[in-house]
Each structure stands twice: as structure tokens, then as C-alpha cells.
Chains A and B, each alone.
Chain A
Amino acid sequence: MASLKEMRNRIGSVKATQKITKAMQMVAAAKLRRAQDAAENARPYAARMASVIANLANGVSGDGAPKLLAGTGRDDKHLVVVATSDRGLAGGFNSGVARAARERIAGLLAQGKDVRIICIGRKGRDVLRRLYGERILHTYEVASAKTLTLDVVQPIAAEILSRFEAEEADVVTLFYSRFRSVISQVPTARRLIPAEVRADAASAPDLKGGVYTYEPDEASILETLLPRNLAVQLLSAMLENQAGFYAAQMSAMDNATRNAGDLIAALTLQYNRSRQAQITKELIEIISGAEAL
């Protein structure tokens, strides 16, 4: 049986922990709002970009299509980009993305493909390093950037493009966590190269009988748009990731706060019982001492 003083200390330390988790929860909630707004604000651009590319892609299929759209025609070298957060304490957020990536990598390796990895965020690297340490080319840390803008993701996009152009990669896949709602973030794989053209995004606008004119021609427009699209896709994935991270952290810290509350209640009960037991014992000693006289 722990002494009363030990129990008091224990209760005190759980209370201190609870204060910390409570504070973290509130900070995450505030940051979540901002991250969610940022993710929503970035959506129109990505959506417009996707529909323009889908429209253009219909026009330039075949041999003339840019490699970023059509692929290299091979499927041997895979580049896997894993976007996680730099921080932890967010429940299963990072491990979910890392697990999805790990399963894919294992599957590709089993098929005899060559796999290379780029990590965005420290947590994903920490998990993947143990298994595939020699395959990790580069790790980007993004926590230092206060707000995610295109400038932040541009270097990452540039590295992916240059590796693609140097024929170090045939297929590039991005793993991130899709922000479905505050309580649900889904680890998702998105193919970056060859560019995924969503058929549903190609909504042909009403042209009133006119035909699009292109300045310069379609192929050159696509060639400037596709690299930019890569950066935009990265940005939107990272914005969703960030919103998802704060949401996951918020609920993880909410759980932790509640657990701490339960623990405090149980410990306080135990403390009161043993204090009462001690008082009773002392009374018995006094009374039996008096009776002996």
C-alpha cells in the first residue's frame, strides 16, 4: 500500500498532465479552424486546374501527349511520396498513412519493382526508416513553415520533376491523409505521375457553338500546366494533411484529458479510503489503550 504522501503526489502529477493535454486540445482546435479554412480556400484552384487539364487531355491523347500525362510507358521504377506531420501526439494519424505506404511499398517490392521514397514530415520517415532506410532519398520538414503556400511545396515538386526527367521514376504516388471530417481522416494514395485525369472533372462548358482557340497550342499549354498541377496537388494534399493532423490531435488530446479525469477520480477515491482507514486505525489504538488502563 502506497503511503498517503505518495498518493497525493501521484494525483498531483496526473492533474498536471491533464492540464497539459487540455491545453494541447484547445490549441489544436484553434489551429484546426485555420487549417480547415486554408484547405477550403485552396480547393477552387485545384478543382479548376483539374477540370482544365481533363479538358485538354481529351484533345492530346496519343503519342504527342506529354510524358507527365501519359507516363513513360514503363512501370519499373516507383517513387513514393509519404506526407505525414512533423509532430506526434495525434493518435493513429501518422501511423495510418505510414501503414498504407508500407503496404504499397511491400507489394511493389514483391513484384520486383524498384522503389524510392521521399518523406514529407518527420514522423513518416521515423516509421519507414526502420524498414526501408536505404530507399529514402530525402526528407522534407514542413513544421517550420507557418502557413503552407505554393512556395513551400515548390522545392518538393521540383525534386519530383527532376527525378522524373532523369528517368529515376516512372510512376509517382503520393500518400497523405484525406480530411473527410473532424473525426475521420482517411489514408489515401494519389497518383501524381502519370497525372490522374478524372473523367468527372471534365465538365465541358457551354460554348454557344464556339470552339476553343489556344494560345500557344494545346500541347504547350499542357506542358506548362502539368508541372504546376503537380505542385498544386502536393499543396492541396498537404493542406488536407494539416487539417487532418490537428483534428486527430484534438480528439487524441480530448481522450487523454478524459482518461486523466477518470484516473484522478479513481485515485482520489483510493486516497480517501486509505486516509479513512488510517484514522480508524489510530482511533482503535487510542481507545484500546484507554481501556487497558
Chain B
Amino acid sequence: MPKFHFSLVAPERELFAGEVDQVDAPGAEGDFGVLAGHEPFMTTLRPGEVIVRDGASRRIFTLQGGFADVTPESFTLLAEHATEVGLSS
């Protein structure tokens, strides 16, 4: 499966950056999942969970809202008060 670059940035620091398979995020008008080659897309986020999948590993972050910028090759998430809650594989 083709991968894309995902970066999760909080105001204080970058929480995650790297190549991943899929990212699910809570958009202001509905949850959405992003795969490589997604069409260009910008949205604000509501509070919720972001799930980052890469191979068999899954990392989960919670955030208090934020902003998503999706292009075919990358996904940048500007998060407010993001924290990592879990790592499962």
C-alpha cells in the first residue's frame, strides 16, 4: 500500500512525523480517513481522537480541536492540546 507523510504538530512541539498508511481524524463536519493520494482538502477539526495506522501499529492521539491540511502526498495536522493516549499493535 502506498504511504504518505503525516505530521502532527502542537504549538509547543511536533508530536509525530513520518510515513504512514492511514490517518483517521475528527473533521468539523464528520470524521474522515486519509489514505495516500487523497484529494487536496482543508478542514477544521473538532475535539476527538486521531488514529494513525502504519502497518500493524496503531497510535492514538486526542486533541481539543485543530486544523487539517491534506494534499495527495502529505497530511499536516495543526492540533490544539494534543496528547498521545495509546499505542497498540
Are both chains from one complex? Answer: yes
A residues touching B (Cβ–Cβ < 8 Å)? 38, 41-42, 44-46, 48-49, 52, 56, 149-150, 205-208, 210-216, 220-221, 224-225, 228, 231-232, 235
Alpha-carbon separation in the docked complex, A258 to B62 (Å): 51
Apart from A41-B14, A210-B39, 13 more pairs, CB < 8 Å: A41-B13, A149-B11, A150-B12, A150-B80, A205-B40, A206-B73, A213-B40, A215-B28, A215-B29, A216-B44, A220-B44, A225-B44, A232-B11
Cβ–Cβ contact A49 & B13, under 8 A? no
In the complex, per-residue mask of B3-47: 1 if CB is within 8 Å of any chain A CB, else 0: 000010111111000000000000111000000000111111000
In the complex, per-residue mask of B76-87: 1 if CB is within 8 Å of any chain A CB, else 0: 101011000000
Alpha-carbon separation in the docked complex, A291 to B67 (Å): 100
Size category, B interface: 20 to 34
Cβ–Cβ contact B41 & A213, under 8 A? yes
Alpha-carbon separation in the docked complex, A205 to B43 (Å): 16
Cβ–Cβ contact A215 & B12, under 8 A? no
Min distance, Cβ B76 to any Cβ of chain A, angstroms: 6
Cβ–Cβ contact B72 & A216, under 8 A? no
Cβ–Cβ contact B78 & A214, under 8 A? no
Alpha-carbon separation in the docked complex, A210 to B44 (Å): 20
Cβ–Cβ contact A45 & B41, under 8 A? no
